[in-house]
Amino acid sequence: MAAATITSKGQVTLPVQVRAALGVDAGDRIEFVEVGKGKFNIVAATRSVKELDGLLYRKGRKPISIEEMNAAIAKGASRSR
């Protein structure tokens, strides 16, 4: 298990095996995502928006218009009230 110490300034140096597993290097960003009381996941936040291209693509699924998206959002919002 990797461990680190918090400095008096609140800084932490990530151990080399953690940096390697996250695929991060000096200057890269990470995010702390709360998953429970006192528990966080560390996520690399250095990916390019371009890497999202095609992420939601499913063969055979037809694209929907902005108007259809807005209607679905409005319908969902009206149910939550």
Confidence class of residue 80 from pLDDT cuts 50, 70 and 90? low
Check residue 9 and give its pLDDT: 96
Tens-place pLDDT, residues 21-75:
998 988 889 999 999 999 999 998 876 777 777 777 888 888 889 999 999 999 9
Report pTM: 0.52
Secondary structure letter of residue 68 according to DSSP:
H
H/E run at residue 17: helix 16-22
CB 45 within 8 A of CB 31: yes
How far apart are the C-alpha atoms of 6 and 14, rounded to whole Å?
10
- Is 3's pLDDT higher than 70? yes
How far apart are the C-alpha atoms of 11 and 5, rounded to whole Å?
8
Token output for 39: 């528990």
Check residue 5 and give its pLDDT: 94
